[in-house]
Amino acid sequence: MKFRVERDVLADAVTWVARGLSPRPPVPVLAGVLLEAHDDGTLTLSAFDYEVSARVTVAAEVSEAGTALVLGRLLADISRNLPDRPIDIATEGNKVQVTCGSSRFSLLLMPSDDYPTLPTSPEASGTIAGDVFTQAVGQVSIAADRGDTLPILTGVRVEVEGDKVTLLATDRYRLAMRELNWSPSASDASHVALVPARNLSDTAKSLGASGKVEIALGASAGGEGLIGFEAGQRRATTRLLDGEYPKVTSIFPTSVDSVCVISTPGLIEAVKRVALVAERNTPVRLRFTDGQVIIEAGTGDDAQASEAVEATLTGPELEIAFNPQFLLDGLGALGTAYARLSFTQPSRPAVISGQDEADGEADESYRYVLMPVRFAS
């Protein structure tokens, strides 16, 4: 195998496919990136750990077609740090020679015969705009559980009905739901998939810059246990989580007693400042009155802070407390100038949604439900 490729092209490609490689793989070959140079002037780079696969095809000057398996993270580090000149890569015996200007590296060839076969390229079940996909996944994945107590809650539930997609995640303390439209291949498309939140988030960030992302579900993804993504020359698959996701949509309140509309940036900055004195696992308290919300943290002999932010309240006044980071996560995901906080009572979950204008309509395509924290009055 022998080829030449531009430095930035190789660095981007290797970094992308190697991003999911485990630092401690169960089998040594799973730490590798598979390089396949083709006579048609293309280079395909692949990585696979039985859970996540990634594949990208880039242009290269191929002198001799062939295949090589090398340590992925090492090749990524080398390619990123080489001078901005074309890179020549060739196999010699049991080594891969990497040359760029006066820089030369010799990497050990790994046994490619032992490398697992990647899942087949999925057929698209539908397409979605890249920026919409990235935003939606980011809004929802923040609420997924990061622990191992209930593995099923580490996933994002993806439900497809026709041209409507609903993303849902919860860690039992908050719940995030985003509804959006996509262009399905079949008008009667119907799928439910539970995708690991971390993998989905990584994929959305890396593919979202493309104009559109193709998503494959069910049989189109190569099996019921997989979901596939493709954008440009980048393709990825992720193994789905098993199990029945809890029916958590019942958490959404059926009625609302009080609604507060407030500047999103104003509330975010105030909560950040006040939370500086909040000890670990202690909440910030919010007192909603007509015309303002007063944010407080700290009690007794501890450091204390308070700040008032202008707001519009409709309904009875109330006082409620939240985990400050969970509150900031939801507010930061809105992407709108104003936040709309809806309450029933201080002991019940609050719903956060966004709106573009102070007196405008709420955009309920994204809703973030936050459980309150009990505090000493």
Same domain, 298 and 322: yes
Q: Does residue 200 sit in helix, strand or coil?
A: helix
Same domain, 174 and 63: no
Asked whether residue 80 is assigned to any structural domain, the reply reads yes
Same domain, 167 and 82: no
CA 113 from chain centre, in angstroms, equals: 33
pTM for the structure as a whole: 0.88
Q: How far apart are CA 107 and CA 33, in angstroms?
A: 12
Q: Which residues of the chain have pLDDT under 50?
A: none
Residue 21 confidence (pLDDT)? 85
Same domain, 237 and 158: yes
Q: How far apart are CA 18 and CA 86, in angstroms?
A: 21
CA atoms within 13 A on the CB side of 68: 25
Q: What is the DSSP letter of 142?
A: T
Same domain, 218 and 150: yes
The one-letter amino acid code at 364 reads E
Domain boundary (248, 264, 292) is at 248
| Cβ-contact 229, 194 below 8 angstroms | no
Query: How do residues 86-114 score in pLDDT, each as one tens digit?
Result: 999 999 999 999 999 999 999 999 998 88
| Cβ-contact 280, 373 below 8 angstroms | no
Same domain, 21 and 102: yes
Residue 220 confidence (pLDDT)? 65
CA atoms within 13 A on the CB side of 316: 9
Q: How far apart are CA 272 and CA 266, in angstroms?
A: 10
| Cβ-contact 140, 77 below 8 angstroms | no
CATH number at residue 294: 3.10.150.10
Query: How do residues 125-163 score in pLDDT, each as one tens digit?
Result: 999 999 999 999 999 999 999 887 788 999 999 999 999
Q: How far apart are CA 342 and CA 181, in angstroms?
A: 25
287-292 long-range contacts (CB < 8 A, ≥24 apart) are 287/317, 287/318, 287/319, 288/258, 288/260, 288/313, 288/317, 288/318, 288/319, 288/320, 288/341, 288/343, 289/313, 289/317, 290/317
Query: How do residues 265-295 score in pLDDT, each as one tens digit?
Result: 999 999 999 999 888 778 999 999 989 999 9
Q: Does residue 281 sit in helix, strand or coil?
A: coil
Same domain, 288 and 348: yes
| Cβ-contact 89, 35 below 8 angstroms | yes
Q: How far apart are CA 265 and CA 364, in angstroms?
A: 19
Residue 253 confidence (pLDDT)? 83
Exposed, middle or buried by CB within 10 Å (0-12, 13-18, 19+), for 100? buried
Q: How far apart are CA 66 and CA 163, in angstroms?
A: 43
Asked whether residue 119 is assigned to any structural domain, the reply reads no
Asked whether residue 121 is assigned to any structural domain, the reply reads no
Where would I find the H helices in the chain? 7-18, 72-81, 130-141, 197-207, 264-274, 324-334
Same domain, 268 and 314: yes
Range of the domain at 300: 252-370
Residue 222 confidence (pLDDT)? 60
Residue 377 confidence (pLDDT)? 54
Same domain, 322 and 334: yes
Length of the chain counted residue by residue: 377
Domain boundary (79, 114, 149) is at 114
Residue 19 confidence (pLDDT)? 86
